[in-house]
Amino acid sequence: MAHPLIPKIVDLAAPIAEDLGLEVVTAVFHTNQHPPILRVDIRNSQGDVSLENCEQMSRALEAALDEANVIPDAYVLEISSPGIPRNLTTDREFISFKGFPVVVTTTEPHEGHKSWVGKLIRRDEEALYLNKKGRAIAIPRHLIDTVQLDESP
């Protein structure tokens, strides 16, 4: 469950990131640490997230959080890249990981299966297409629950 301050933090962080040509991917507030750690993951739509991107976001967000007094007590702010996503959700991710092995789970059986493993061909408005042992499989998008990179050997 997300910390109750996360929506306020994301609302504050998103326009700052946008002004810097970045986007906020996730925010997590680890209150079990002393001091608590606020981690904000950012993505650069133009390429890899650089150290300079993280520094710029950190300075701007820290100033905004202090001014808005969102977190009244001491905390540590960490800005980083989310790395390679395990779950594919955006059009960009589906394009970037074309040809990669994925595991697709469906909300109900499709052709007798609720789980599919194959290489990602593409996704369009209607379906997600997998190469399963040389055969193209079309799984209707409305049935798809998750699409994850297959990390098994």
* Residue ranges of the chain that CATH labels 3.30.300.70: 6-80
What's the topology of domain 6-80? GMP Synthetase; Chain A, domain 3 (3.30.300)
CA dist 89 and 80 (Å) reads: 20
Q: Which residue has the tokens 């993280």?
A: 54
**Mean pLDDT over the full length of the chain:** 91
Residue 12 φ/ψ, nearest 5 degrees: -75, -40
Q: 63 pLDDT exceeds 70?
A: yes
Q: 86 pLDDT exceeds 80?
A: no
* Beta strand pairing call for 127-132 and 76-80: unpaired
Does the predicted TM-score (pTM) go above 0.85?
Answer: no
* Residue ranges of the chain that CATH labels 2.30.30.100: 91-149
| Mean pLDDT value across residues 91-120 | 92
As a whole number of Å, the end-to-end CA separation of the chain is: 31
Q: Which CATH architecture has domain 91-149?
A: Roll (2.30)
* Beta strand pairing call for 127-132 and 113-123: antiparallel
What pLDDT is recorded for position 45? 78
* Out of 26-30, 62-66, 83-87, 94-98, least confident range: 83-87
